[in-house]
Amino acid sequence: AVSGKSYVIYGGDQEGAVLYIGTAGNLKVTTVAGDEVTFQGINTGAFFPVNVTKVFATGTTADNIIALW
């Protein structure tokens, strides 16, 4: 569910995070290289092995996402 709040998934001292996807869907992110990418059809329970600094609310339909360092 979209909360309307903006979240930063790192404190600035990390390079980025890999993600755990709790509920399947699409995932729009900014990678540590600065690229904005939308990944289609990420499965429920998947570990997303791309180092990211941002997950977009708009363009992301996956849910229950956990950032891991």
Rounded to whole angstroms, the Cα distance separating 65 from 13 reads 21
The predicted model scores a pTM of: 0.78
15, 40, 49 from 34: Cα distances, Å = 12, 19, 16
Print pLDDT tens along the chain (69 aa).
556 666 665 555 668 889 999 999 999 999 999 999 999 999 999 999 999 999 999 999 999 999 988
